[in-house]
């Protein structure tokens, strides 16, 4: 069986795992931060693809019901590998900083 897309990078895998363990309100907050980081990094989503995915998918994954989290994870998934790693490193740094407060 093959790896999931996020399992190919330890940093990205760690971010996805941390997001999954959070309360819904924190998932949304971090998803909005991740969306902003993707935007700042120059990611340009193809909205047609996302509309097709939403219309043709059962939406059963743990993050599908949260609009911000869905977009953040889908955009991260579609971004270049280097961008995925950079965004994941920023998110992990933020997790660590907030955990130490």
Condensed to tens digits (0 to 9), the pLDDT of residues 58-75 reads 778 888 889 899 989 999
Domain containing residue 21: 10-99
Q: Helices 47-55 and 67-78, interaxial angle, to 10°? A: 120
Domain-embedded: residue 63: yes
Domain-embedded: residue 38: yes
Domain count, the chain: 1
Domain-embedded: residue 55: yes
Domain-embedded: residue 47: yes
pTM over the 0.75 mark: yes
Six-digit token pair at 65? 């019901």
Six-digit token pair at 24? 């819904």
Q: How far is Cα 11 from Cα 24, in angstroms, rounded to an integer?
A: 21
Q: How far is Cα 53 from Cα 46, in angstroms, rounded to an integer?
A: 11
| pLDDT tier at 14, thresholds 50, 70, 90 | very high
């Amino acid at each position: 069986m093959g790896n999931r897309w996020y399992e190919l990078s330890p940093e990205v895998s760690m971010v996805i795992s941390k997001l999954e363990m959070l309360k819904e309100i924190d998932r949304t907050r971090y998803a909005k931060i991740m969306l902003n980081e993707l935007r700042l990094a120059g990611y340009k989503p193809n909205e047609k693809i996302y509309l097709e995915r939403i219309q043709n998918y059962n939406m059963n994954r743990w993050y599908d019901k949260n609009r911000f989290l869905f977009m953040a994870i889908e955009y991260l998934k579609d971004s270049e590998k280097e961008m995925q790693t950079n965004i994941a490193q920023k998110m992990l740094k933020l997790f660590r900083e907030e955990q130490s407060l």
